[in-house]
Structure 1
Amino acid sequence: MHLYITYFLALFIGLALGLTGGGGSILTVPVLVYVAKIEPVIATAYSLFIVGFTSLVGAGSYVKKGLVNIRMSFIFAVPAFITVWLMRKFVIHAMPDVLFNLGGFVLTKDLFLMLFFALIMLISGFKMVYGEAKDNSLVGNETNYPLVLLSGITVGILSGLVGAGGGFLIVPALVFFMYLPMNKAVGTSLLVIAINSLIGFTGDWLNIPQIDWNFLLIFSLIASIGVFLGVYINRFVDNQKLKKVFGYFVFIMAIVIVIEELVL
């Protein structure tokens, strides 16, 4: 039964991604861990594939509208996907099962990953609720390559740790450091997320004994259907209000994760 619930929630994740233009993928890891009962390290790896697959589908709709800057996406993606690949290949699976034991409190690798993920959810939710999208693009300004490099590495570290896309960091970086207009920044961000996540996932191949490709492909396909539904429904709703409502939901989910990990 929990497998069918997982697939239903995959549709919801895709729907949220299509409706809000990003952020829906932040729910992938909690669904995989608490509903599908997959251990956190493997869940973050699976999330990279799912997020990459669905983001690629979403980016396709923006490409058709001419709202993706292919050149800028690859410039940003290179430092990001190198970092996320290194994180997945050499760091995550090399971390000890117990990070430290202090006064009876044991911080395991799984606990650290879930608490860090909850922190990322809180930041992402805050951006959705309180962050106003401002188009700060200035025609003629040169790309700030040092800050693009730093942003890409930061996104790669976060994506490598928690298996999330990091769109809440990528979109501002594309606007402020690469001077893309907001409508192109969102579409370009989806392509960056797709590249980072799918390449990052390859870093897990040799470290995970058996990847459940059947589950991954079904989940990703259902989520992709949700993306198409979300993009269609988005024409008839207030995007900003919807994003704030979803942001509050992400807040609540982050608190639930903390309670689940530290109290229950």
Structure 2
Amino acid sequence: MWLRPGPGPWLGGVDPAGARPGPAQPGRWRPLMTTALTTLLLSTLIGLSLGLLGGGGSMLTVPLLVYVVGLEPKVGFATSTVVVGSTALIAMTQHARRGNVRWRTGAIFAITSMLGAYASSSSARWINGGTLMLLFAGMMIAAAVAMFVGRAGLDERVTETPQPLTLGLAGVVVGALTGMVGAGGGFVIVPTLVLFAGMRMHAAVGTSLLVIALKSAAGLAGYAGHTPIAWDSALLVTIGAISGTFFGTLLATKMSGASLKRGFAAMLVGMAVLLIRREASTEALLGVVALWPLWLILLIGGGIAAARRR
């Protein structure tokens, strides 16, 4: 199946793997290899983002799997949990060697967010694929806004004495919001750990990777019962992403990353606009409106976070 000529975008077009069907064409090795190499190159950005910023993996992985590899949106979300989880695990070990992982706090947050991720990813079967993509675009815009605003001042508020109940509730909410769209949630987890656990940025990045790895495993379990995983696509993208983690982790120790965060935020906005233009439809928009409880939770959570920052 892997890199075999046949129907589908480049993987052989096996329907259970979620590839979008296409006409069978003999002798497609050259475009297949070109697409595979492009995918491998672009996937290094996933690891670079996770290693440097502790997040952004799924925001790059999902568009790559859907628009470059050619998977259906739901299969792309499910497959992204494999890629992001595996890559985050490797990046976490690199940060752990530098003492930037808070295991107890990370475990509390991870366990509670895994519960939320499993519940929400299991419910994804009833949501239109276009609606999921629009939700994902909304998360990208929210993450970009948070990065544009900046978190420099938060690093001064260091206590590292979180309240387990508060941290656990935050974990459930973050897990539920990100699990539905297959997102690792690093750009939500990192500021949450800084706000609610009093962590410094470097520790929050490393601990975020622990949470992402465990929560992605829970999200994968939730998807496994109703959505197929494109394992060959996951393997190829993961190989490239893992190579990128080494550069990202190295840069995290050498650079402040402030300008990189804002540049990455601009890229997120551009990608979100692209997703909205491609996926917007009456059915998808009605699906987003129907999820008004989700927006209410986001509004309340944002208000609480803003109050704590003051």
TM range (shorter): 0.7 to 0.9
User: What corresponds to 2:124 in structure 1?
Assistant: 92
TM-score (norm 2): 0.73
Indicate conservation of the 8 Å contact 1:17/1:25, yes or no.
no
User: What corresponds to 1:245 in structure 2?
Assistant: 263
Deviations 1:62-106 (A, max 9, x none): 1101111111111111111012112223x112x06xxxxxxxxxx
How much has 1:191 moved relative to structure 2?
Answer: 0.5
Of 179, 184, 208, the match for 1:165: 184
Q: Flag the structure with larger Rg.
A: 2
Which amino acid is the alignment partner of residue 128 of structure 1? M
> What is the RMSD computed on CA atoms of the aligned residues?
2.0
**Residue 152 and residue 234 in structure 1: after superposition, are their counterparts in 2 closer, same or farther (change >3 A)?**
closer
User: What corresponds to 2:235 in structure 1?
Assistant: 217
User: Identical aligned pairs, as a percentage?
Assistant: 37
Which amino acid is the alignment partner of residue 235 of structure 2? L
Of 67, 71, 74, the match for 1:41: 74
Q: Is 1:181 equivalent to 2:214 in the alignment?
A: no
Of 11, 16, 19, the match for 2:49: 16
Deviations 1:95-153 (A, max 9, x none): 06xxxxxxxxxxxx0111111100000011112222223222226x4x22332222111
Q: Distance in 2 between matches of 1:233 and 1:166?
A: 21
Q: Is 1:208 equivalent to 2:208 in the alignment?
A: no
Deviations 1:31-58 (A, max 9, x none): 1111111111111111111111111111
Indicate conservation of the 8 Å contact 1:45/1:163, yes or no.
yes
Indicate conservation of the 8 Å contact 1:20/1:242, yes or no.
no
Indicate conservation of the 8 Å contact 1:137/1:179, yes or no.
yes
Indicate conservation of the 8 Å contact 2:143/2:265, yes or no.
yes
User: What corresponds to 1:105 in structure 2?
Assistant: none
User: What corresponds to 1:104 in structure 2?
Assistant: none
Deviations 1:149-207 (A, max 9, x none): 22111111122211111122212222222233332121111111111012221222232
Of 147, 172, 181, the match for 2:166: 147
User: Which has the higher relative contact order, 1 or 2, with Cα contacts under 8 A spaced 6 or more apart?
Assistant: 1
User: What corresponds to 1:262 in structure 2?
Assistant: 280
User: What corresponds to 1:137 in structure 2?
Assistant: 158
SS class of match (2:223):
coil
How many residues are aligned here?
A: 246
SS class of match (1:137):
coil
Q: Distance in 1 between matches of 2:92 and 2:151?
A: 22
How much has 1:19 moved relative to structure 2?
Answer: 3.5
How much has 1:236 moved relative to structure 2?
Answer: 5.3
Q: Distance in 2 between matches of 1:30 and 1:18?
A: 19
Moved more, 244-253 or 225-234: 225-234
TM-score (norm 1): 0.85
**Residue 38 and residue 72 in structure 1: after superposition, are their counterparts in 2 closer, same or farther (change >3 A)?**
same
User: What corresponds to 1:66 in structure 2?
Assistant: 99
Indicate conservation of the 8 Å contact 2:40/2:239, yes or no.
no
Consecutive unaligned residues of structure 2, counting only runs of 5 or more, are 1-30, 282-310
Q: Distance in 2 between matches of 1:15 and 1:78?
A: 26
SS class of match (2:180):
helix
Q: Distance in 2 between matches of 1:78 and 1:235?
A: 28
Q: Distance in 2 between matches of 1:31 and 1:218?
A: 12
**Residue 145 and residue 231 in structure 1: after superposition, are their counterparts in 2 closer, same or farther (change >3 A)?**
closer
Of 121, 136, 141, the match for 2:140: 121
**Residue 185 and residue 237 in structure 1: after superposition, are their counterparts in 2 closer, same or farther (change >3 A)?**
closer
Consecutive unaligned residues of structure 1, counting only runs of 5 or more, are 97-108
User: What corresponds to 1:106 in structure 2?
Assistant: none
